[in-house]
Structure 1
Amino acid sequence: MVSDEYTSLTSDLAWHTNVTSTRMSERSSKENRELYELALRGLQYLSGWSVQVLDTFTWKLAHCASHETNRECPKDAESYEKATRYNYNSDERFAMIEVISMIKSVQTQLLRLEAYYSEAIRRSVYRELQTIVIGQLSGPLIKAQKKKDRINLVRLIYAIQATCADQILEQIDADTGGAGGTHSKSWSRSAASRFVHSNQGSLTTGSNSTLAQVAASLGHDSGSVGSGSAFDLNKRRVGPSSSQLYLVRTMLELMVDQTASGRHVMRKDLDSATLTAIETFLKNSFYWPYLLNFSGKLVYPLCMCLPPCACMWQL
């Protein structure tokens, strides 16, 4: 099982290494997504293999050899020798060394192009986040605005978009700069009215609105809103902060919560496509803290294997 995973992963890594080293043009969003998925698979395999090595090593420490279980073990052997030197047969020793060498090999290949993988991860994460925040939630927001009993859903979507939607954040920055960098009460009321009122100056409704243009662009691979807009999904490579990711995930979980009751139920106001998109986003974004710290997480599996590696010198 481990050898099959290793063979499959290393062949994909070698192919992408050759393509990346010879590429002269910028990668498309599809190619960035392929590198994102390959990086995720690499981290998952490294984590799984490291856990297997550590579990085996821990079990051996808890079940030391004795003269009865291994005739080569002297009765007066040290405890550490009983746990390491005389506690592995030839097959176990070979398997441990093989898995550790696989971990180091995959780590080396991933670290060699860590900058490319990290950039592809940030671009893919940014695109997926803006797709759900601007593109997928715009439809439910427009529908919810037409019904007074869905005010909680409207407020929650506004909060999500105000947290991560780039166009809203840029508008706030522009307004703040124009007002001398101060957030007055009058500015807050005027900004809130722009974000809440529909059909007139709204960022989320109307055929010519900013978010409507952005949402329409998300369906195209180019990711460009148009010549008159600076918003380009493919040119941005900034992932969300830990606070932004936590807030968005928490609010989306609240939106699809099945245990809510009474007036707090918002799941019933969402169509099946939106529910599926949100649940898929929650599943994928679970791995983002690890992927956004890609270089740090690559070193972690090797740190887990340091005790078994030291043990191998005694065998």
Structure 2
Amino acid sequence: MAGERVSLDDALSNVDVLDDLPLSDQQPMVEAQSCSVVYTANFDTNFEDRNAYVTGIAKYMEEAATHAELNKLLEEGEQHAVMLYTWRCCSRAIPQPKSNEQPNRVEIYEKTVKVLSEEVKKLTKFMKFQHKAIEVFCNQVKRLCHQEKRKDFVSEAYLLTLGKFINMFAVLDELKNMKSSVKNDYSTYRRAAQFLKVLSDTQSLQESQNLSMFLATQNKVRDSLKEKLQTIGAHEELLCEVVNISVHMFENKMYLTPKEKQMLVKVMGFGLFLIDSDGCNINKLDQKKKIRIDKIDKIFKNLEVVPLFGDMQIAPFNYIKRSKNFDAKLWPLCSASTISPQASLMCHLPRIREEHIKYISDLARYSNEVITTYKETARTDAENRDISDLAQRGLMLLSDWTSVVTEVYSWKLLHPTDHHANKTCPIDAEEYERATRYNYSPDEKFGLIEVIAMIKGLQVLMARMEIVFLDSIRKNIYQELQDFVQLTLRDPLRKAVKNKKELLRSILVSVRETSADWIKGYEPSEDPALKGKKDPDQGGFEIKVRRRNVGSEELELSLYVPPGPSSTQLYMVRTMLESLISDKSGGKKTLRKEMDGQHLVLIDEFHKTSFIWSYLLNFSGRHAPCPCNFPNWHGHVRRTTCLYPNRHGHVRRTTCDVPRACTLTGTGMCDVPRTCTLTGTGMCDVPRTCTLTGMGTCDVPRTCTLTGTGMCDVPVPVP
């Protein structure tokens, strides 16, 4: 049979027969969007263009400058979190001197210092960063809590940024607590450095001592932050506002990604912990209606466990239980022994199926129209609005479904099953197996794959419509913004001028000048509203709002797709409008009392609608990440980034998707340190000898020892 020849026609016919093979019904197709080399435009300028909007209110321009600095600190904090999360123990792979008389003892210590010195520098930077971040955060709190500033308006965006700082401190503190390998590596380095007398000067010794105490002390970041806040008067009032805005945004679903949703929950828990102290009892704050414990209790019960960072989890209610004035009676839902709704995927599955079918049908209708229909005229405002709403629905569905998946597996990981709860679970099963392999019923396993397939499939379909979505999103946002600032704000501006409300008038004028795109390039000076007068009885006063896609007479403009407002422009407009409808204004009388109720409703509606615009304008970067938020144990495939020096002294990044068997259990995915193929102990981070050249570090793709194909990250024996 080995020598039998098969003609090309026979071979092709055999391949065609594969189409007729029967496949099992209801098998989900789990295939995500293919990743190609593309570029996307990022419209988030981090307020670098703030000086361009000189017509804006100076106070909010200053706030934008502060925002920019705070965002840079948040990015730096994210880098330190990644550093801690990806830290793997190096000291276990480093040989230790067995006696004081060992001949190469000095050489071993010198190599140890050389290898670990760069890693220790990262830890020193982390320690200095948390000092700096706490100082900056507390300075902002102190500024806002000043006696003259307490009644001033603080924007929703600014409170949310303070909430992001609270979340960052919680994440960094928990990661530092969990990573014992960091302490072990630094102890190894310090022992070697002291032997070689590297830390000889006073400054180095003091810095080493500070770093050692910082790493060894549990909850150091948390306690330092709380201690610093206790010195600031009325800080609890501002933190209550941060907690309340988190509750408000969570209840009204004012978020998009699962990460943002889970961040709000962590801010509630850690924020209340920071507030509660000897001088401030959160139970009394609840009685004074400063916070709503009943609402937070319900949220914590529905979301008992949230991802901390990566595949690490945390229970936000634990912060409340550690607080000084914890009273279980005020937290009846969280204190009850009933299982959280978060634990069950099956209760969400019927709803997800129905939403998927309905949305896919709507998406298919628009997709068919785009593919099969050619229109000589541009889309109308109503059509652009419908397509933009469709894109928004799709993003929110992707977010909601992904949240369900991440929340279910997060709960399962912190609540492993046992032999009594699941008879198929062996008594001697590993804890990781009890949390994953035996912690799901057959229906849950099938449902999990089904939901993941829906998410990935919807992502692919939305990616095909990306050009259409982006075009309609930008045109719709442009149209809604221009209609609002040029038409809707005319009447409030007229009344502000007529009644001589100068502050109100200046804010409304600033909003228009910041964002209006007048058809003649400038605001019509003959507009009666600017003088506080009514429109003429005969004919009125018509304002033509520019439409970039209105018809053949403006063909050159119809080809232009407006990019929508920049991130800074949108921030300025929303913040100035928010100051009009806020209950706090810094004066004896709030601005909202100077406006008619109908105008407040219109401004409030626009403010709520425009919240999602920043996400829609970044549509390309929003619909892609959601399906990537799945557990790295799914399918027993682990994606890891390998960092090792090559023979040119650079660092090479490779990604291995090849399943590896655990060296202890023989199954699943191994997170257990592997034995070093050079030293025979610990986990190997040592460069391996090239199997082709016999020298240096091998950059040649190696054959996987498990599958026989591809490039494997599994250690290979050194020849």
- With the shorter chain as reference, the TM-score category is 0.7 to 0.9
Q: Residue in 2 aligned with 1:21? A: 371
Q: Partner amino acid for 2:518?
A: Q
Partner of 2:355: 5
- Residue 69 of structure 1 deviates from its aligned partner by 2.1
From 416, 420, 434, the equivalent of 1:64 is 416
Cross-structure match for 1:273: 598
Cα displacement (A) at 1:144: 1.8
Displacement of 1:261: 6.8
Unaligned 5+ residue runs, structure 1?
A: 172-193
Residue 77, structure 1, aligned to residue 77, structure 2: no
- Look up the match of 1:151: 502
Query: Do the aligned residues in 1 keep the contact of 2:548 with 2:561 (CA within 8 Å)?
Result: no
The separation in 2 between residues aligned to 1:140 and 1:29, in whole angstroms, is 25
Judging changes above 3 Å, is the alpha-carbon distance between structure 1 residues 6 and 69 closer, same or farther for their aligned structure 2 residues? same
Displacement of 1:275? 1.8
Q: 1:32 aligns with which of 384, 395, 410?
A: 384
User: Residues of 1 paired with 2:542 and 2:565: CA distance?
Assistant: 22
Deviation at 1:222, TM superposition (A): 9.7
Structure-1 separation of matches of 2:532 and 2:461: 44
**1:304 alignment counterpart:** 629
- How far 1:257 sits from its partner (Å)? 1.8
Distance 1:42 1:57, change over 3 A: same
Q: Tell me, in whole angstroms, the C-alpha distance in 1 between the residues paired with 2:486 and 2:558.
A: 12
Q: Does the aligned pair in 1 maintain the 2:519–2:545 contact within 8 Å?
A: no
AA paired with 2:379?
A: R
Give unmatched runs, 5+ long, in structure 2.
1-350, 638-658, 660-667, 670-719
- Structure 1 distance, partners of 2:519, 2:370, is 35
Which AA in structure 2 matches 1:295?
S
CA distance, structure 2, for counterparts of residue 21 and residue 102 of structure 1:
23
CA distance in 2, matches of 1:305, 1:10: 22
The answer to whether the 8 A contact 2:518-2:545 is kept is no
For residue 94 of structure 1, report the CA deviation from its aligned partner.
1.1
Partner of 1:98: 450
Cα distance in 2 for partners of 1:203, 1:241 equals 30
Corresponding letter in the other structure for 1:18: N
Report how far residue 133 of structure 1 moved: 1.1
| Alpha-carbon displacement from aligned partner over 1:102-156 (angstroms, at most 9, x marks no partner) | 11111111111111101111111111111111111112212222232x0111100
Among 77, 87, 94, the residue aligned to 2:439 = 87
The code of the aligned residue for 1:105 comes to G
| Number of matched pairs | 282
Distance 2:447 2:457 in 1: 15
Give the superposed CA RMSD. Answer: 3.5
Task: Tell me how far apart the structure 1 counterparts of residues 520 and 438 of structure 2 sit (CA, whole Å).
Answer: 63
Would you say 1:246 and 2:571 are equivalent positions? yes
State the match for 1:137 in structure 2: 489
Counting aligned pairs with the same residue, the percent is: 37
* Structure 1 residue 206 displacement after superposition: 9.2
Is 2:453 the partner of 1:128? Answer: no
Which amino acid in 1 is paired with 2:511?
I
Contact 2:482/2:545 (<8 A) preserved: no
Contact 2:384 2:475 (C-alpha < 8 Å) held by counterparts: yes
Residue aligned with 2:467, SS: helix
- 1:174 corresponds in structure 2 to none
Equivalent position SS for 1:277: helix
Residues 267 and 234 (structure 1), Cα distance of their counterparts in 2 relative to 1, 3 Å cut: farther
Which residue is 2:693 aligned to? none
For residues 237 and 203 of structure 1, the distance between their equivalents in structure 2, rounded to whole angstroms, comes to: 31
236 and 206 in structure 1: CA distance in 2 versus 1, 3 angstrom threshold: farther
Structure 2 equivalent of residue 182 of structure 1: none
Residue deviations 1:7-28 (CA, integer Å, cap 9, x gap): 1111000111001112322211
Partner SS, residue 53 of structure 1: helix
CA distance in 2, matches of 1:132, 1:140: 12
2:462 alignment partner in structure 1 = 110
Q: Which has the higher helix share?
A: 1
- Which of the residues 141, 161, 164 maps onto 2:515? 164
Name the amino acid aligned to 2:360. T
Question: 1:179 maps to what in 2?
Answer: none
Distance 1:105 1:278 in 2: 38
- Would you say the 8 A contact 1:217–1:223 is kept in 2? no
Secondary structure, counterpart of 1:54 in structure 2: helix
How far off is 1:263 after superposition? 5.8
- Alignment of structure 1 residues 47-62 onto 2, 5 Å: 47-62=399-414
Q: Assess if the C-alpha contact under 8 Å between 2:580 and 2:591 holds in 1.
A: yes
Query: Does the C-alpha gap of structure 1 residues 198 and 266 become closer, same or farther in structure 2, counting only changes over 3 Å?
Result: farther
Name the aligned partner's letter for residue 160 of structure 1.
Answer: V
CA contact (8 A) 1:223 1:233 kept: yes
**TM-score, structure 2 length as denominator?**
0.36
Return the match for 1:284 from 609, 612, 615. 609
TM-score, structure 1 length as denominator? 0.78
* Structure 1, 254-263 or 38-47: larger mean CA deviation: 254-263
Distance 2:499 2:407 in 1: 56
Q: Distance in 2 between matches of 1:115 and 1:33?
A: 15
CA contact (8 A) 2:494 2:533 kept: yes
